[in-house]
């Protein structure tokens, strides 16, 4: 084969397409500016023309927060997938809910990414939600790049923010850029890699990309003061060059730090340019048996999210699949490892929030939406028909912390009621629990946070046409049981209620921690 032929073969292979892909999530505490930064990435990549008035190719309104309830409440409730192209790279951006009540959706999404962009509010630094999301990233060894946002408002000192990152997260912060000025006098950032100052001109509400001016520090009026600050950084071991160790970054022990204002577009281009260079491309993943599945092996992937009714006109159901190996082709036959059933892919789509288009092919790192594929659940592994391999590790689900008794608000909507609850349970919006002794007439809904109940009520009425009525339940603690033997041992214990989730797995519910401790003692387990 000629050299040109060899290059063409590599470019057409799965491994040959991977270096140009970046699959990542943006994580933050609520109100740190995550959604604003997401929108600015779309603006700078050319996916939209004006921030604040996001338009799709069909001139319909499109947002990362696509659900009606998200727009009403002004918070992210469910993860969104945004595919965009920038500087020859394919970026798969997974926008995650910031609110703690939707932790489970965020956790599932982080399972599907190769890196994360952590957004901090410069006035608040490390907050509780940031810490929890970071712990998930550390558990998955996900590399993190940090963006300190809102420098155009009153903020903590940059050195104090770096200290918080190191002391609270155990990450070594390496500032790549450094802010010049503060609050109303925020003028730009120094790119410490080449010793230049990038000045910005504001645009109305940051709706458009403003002009930028890059000048050497030697030509800056406040150069002496800036050089003193940069020298101090070097003295405390925060150099941008020699202190940046890529292996430590990829291992999740070090984070490059960028400063700016997403709302004003200050520092956004520098962040995006650097991100596509620093963030890792997809790498081979291990299956549940510990075997590394090479990128060029036959197609494999896993479902990390299921979502119904993204298109209210068609009442569709989409399974979001992270491609892990091989080349996906629309129309190919896949097999669900859990059920052995063949999955059709004729209606495969790539999504841009609530906008979508048919996808003909995809490669490792890409996210494919399989439409109306019944029977696929979160955590399912898919393989090309004829291929044999172990499944990928199952995505853990959370044990509910809040409970409510559910009742059908319209007896004439019995079918819609149970169909809606089943769909919300499959998506992980709520966990539907049944008590065998009552025939399931009044199911128990479990949730990580109480806002999930509000989402369930809204969606049951507006998407499934079945009003949901909830009343308080007496349980405050839950324990997932590992066997039927454990369920039998606890079934006669006072203060314990045995229930089953949608997959038939037993859980024990308790009215308070006292009864939970009693149950743990009976099972010979240690409790917190």
pLDDT tens for 81-95 read 888 899 999 999 987
Question: Comparing 192 with 226, which gets the higher pLDDT?
Answer: 192
Q: What is the rounded average pLDDT for all residues in the chain?
A: 85
Structural contact between residues 264 and 152, judged by C-beta atoms closer than 8 angstroms = yes
Say whether 369 counts as a known binding-site residue: no
State residue 356's pLDDT score: 76
State residue 65's pLDDT score: 45
Taking 60 as the threshold, does the pLDDT of residue 333 lie above it?
yes
Say whether 95 counts as a known binding-site residue: yes
How sure is the predictor about 112, in pLDDT bands with cuts at 50, 70 and 90? very high
Structural contact between residues 449 and 402, judged by C-beta atoms closer than 8 angstroms = yes
Q: Report DSSP state, residue 236.
A: T
Closest by CA position to 320, among listed 386, 380, 394: 380
Q: Which domains does the chain have, with CATH numbers?
A: 20-78+97-278 (3.40.50.300), 285-384 (3.40.50.300), 402-523 (3.30.70.3280)
Question: Comparing 338 with 4, which gets the higher pLDDT?
Answer: 338
Q: How many angstroms separate the first and last alpha carbons of the chain?
A: 64
**What is Dmax (Cα atoms) for the chain?**
80
Tell me the average pLDDT across 140-160. Answer: 94
Say whether 132 counts as a known binding-site residue: no
Say whether 206 counts as a known binding-site residue: no
Say whether 372 counts as a known binding-site residue: no
394 CB neighbour count, 10 Å cutoff? 14
Closest by CA position to 407, among listed 463, 466, 474, 475: 466
pLDDT tens for 267-313 read 999 999 999 999 999 999 999 999 999 999 999 999 998 887 666 66
Q: Both tokens of residue 143?
A: 């590399």
Say whether 35 counts as a known binding-site residue: yes
Say whether 32 counts as a known binding-site residue: yes
Tell me the average pLDDT across 376-392. Answer: 90
Taking 70 as the threshold, does the pLDDT of residue 383 lie above it?
yes
Q: Report DSSP state, residue 261.
A: B
* CA of residue 519 relative to chain centroid, distance: 35
CA angle, residues 91, 92, 93, in degrees to nearest 5: 105
Q: Which residues contact 462 (CB under 8 A, 6 or more apart)?
A: 68
Taking 90 as the threshold, does the pLDDT of residue 244 lie above it?
no
Taking 50 as the threshold, does the pLDDT of residue 520 lie above it?
yes
Taking 50 as the threshold, does the pLDDT of residue 209 lie above it?
yes
Say whether 97 counts as a known binding-site residue: yes
Secondary structure element (H or E) that encloses residue 89, with its range: strand 89-95
State residue 105's pLDDT score: 78
State residue 303's pLDDT score: 95
Closest by CA position to 259, among listed 146, 383, 348: 146
CA dihedral 65, 71, 75, 77 (to 10 degrees): -60
Say whether 20 counts as a known binding-site residue: no
Q: Where are the beta strands (DSSP E) in 67-226?
A: 80-86, 89-95, 115-121, 144-149, 172-175, 177-180, 188-191, 196-200, 212-216
Taking 50 as the threshold, does the pLDDT of residue 427 lie above it?
yes
State residue 506's pLDDT score: 94
Whole-number Cα distances in Å, 178 to 70, 192, 203, 218, 257: 34, 7, 22, 16, 9
Say whether 146 counts as a known binding-site residue: no
Say whether 34 counts as a known binding-site residue: yes
State residue 12's pLDDT score: 56
* CA of residue 13 relative to chain centroid, distance: 28
pLDDT tens for 52-79 read 544 443 433 344 444 454 454 444 445 5
Structural contact between residues 279 and 145, judged by C-beta atoms closer than 8 angstroms = yes
Spell out the SS3 assignment of 324-359. EECCEECCCCEEECCCCCEECCCCEEEEECCEEEEC
Secondary structure element (H or E) that encloses residue 55, with its range: none
Taking 70 as the threshold, does the pLDDT of residue 478 lie above it?
yes
Structural contact between residues 360 and 396, judged by C-beta atoms closer than 8 angstroms = no
Say whether 96 counts as a known binding-site residue: yes
């Amino acid at each position: 084969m000629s050299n040109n032929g060899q290059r063409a073969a590599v470019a057409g292979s799965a491994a040959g397409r991977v270096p140009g892909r970046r699959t990542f999530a943006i994580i933050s505490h609520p109100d740190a500016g995550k959604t604003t930064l997401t929108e600015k990435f779309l603006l700078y990549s050319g996916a939209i023309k004006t921030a604040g008035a996001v338009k799709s190719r069909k001139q319909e309104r499109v947002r990362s927060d696509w659900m009606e309830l998200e727009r009403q409440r002004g918070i992210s409730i469910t993860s969104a997938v945004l595919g965009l192209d920038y500087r020859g790279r394919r970026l798969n951006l997974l926008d995650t809910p910031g609110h703690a009540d939707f932790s489970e959706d965020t956790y599932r999404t982080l399972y599907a990414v190769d890196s994360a962009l952590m957004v901090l509010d410069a006035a608040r630094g490390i907050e509780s939600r940031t810490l929890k999301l970071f712990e998930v990233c550390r558990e998955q060894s996900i590399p993190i790049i940090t963006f300190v946002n809102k420098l155009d408002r009153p903020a903590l000192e940059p050195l104090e923010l770096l200290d918080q990152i190191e002391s609270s997260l155990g990450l070594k912060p390496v500032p790549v850029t450094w802010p010049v000025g503060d609050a109303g006098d925020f003028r730009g950032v120094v790119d410490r890699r080449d010793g230049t100052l990038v000045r910005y001109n504001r645009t109305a509400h940051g709706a458009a990309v403003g002009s930028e001016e890059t000048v050497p520090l030697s030509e800056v009026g406040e150069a002496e003061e800036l050089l003193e600050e940069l020298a101090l950084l070097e003295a405390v071991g925060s150099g941008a060059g020699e202190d940046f160790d890529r292996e430590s970054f990829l291992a999740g022990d070090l984070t490059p730090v960028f400063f700016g204002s997403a709302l004003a577009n200050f520092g956004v281009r520098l962040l995006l340019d650097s991100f596509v260079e620093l963030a890792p491309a997809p790498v081979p993943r291990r299956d549940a048996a510990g075997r590394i599945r090479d990128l060029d092996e036959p197609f494999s992937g896993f479902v990390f999210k299921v979502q119904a009714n993204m298109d209210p006109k068609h009442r569709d159901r989409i399974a979001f699949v992270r491609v892990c190996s091989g080349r996906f082709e629309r129309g190919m036959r896949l097999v669900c490892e859990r059920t052995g059933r063949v999955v059709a892919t004729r209606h495969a789509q790539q999504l841009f929030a609530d906008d979508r288009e048919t996808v003909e092919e995809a490669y490792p790192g890409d996210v494919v939406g399989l439409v109306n594929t019944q029977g696929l659940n979160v955590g399912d592994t898919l393989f090309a028909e004829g291929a044999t391999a172990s499944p990928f590790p199952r995505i853990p689900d959370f044990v509910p912390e809040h409970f409510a008794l559910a009742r059908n608000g319209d007896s004439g909507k019995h079918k819609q009621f149970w169909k809606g609850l089943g769909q919300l349970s499959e998506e992980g919006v709520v966990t539907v629990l049944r008590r065998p002794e009552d025939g399931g007439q009044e199911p128990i809904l479990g949730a990580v946070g109480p806002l999930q109940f509000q989402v369930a009520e809204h969606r049951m009425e507006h998407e499934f046409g079945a009003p949901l009525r909830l009343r308080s339940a007496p349980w405050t603690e839950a324990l997932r049981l590992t066997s039927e033997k454990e369920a039998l041992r606890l079934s006669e214990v006072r203060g314990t209620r045995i229930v089953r989730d949608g997959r038939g797995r037993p859980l024990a519910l308790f009215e308070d921690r006292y009864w939970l401790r009693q149950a743990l003692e009976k099972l010979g387990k240690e409790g917190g």
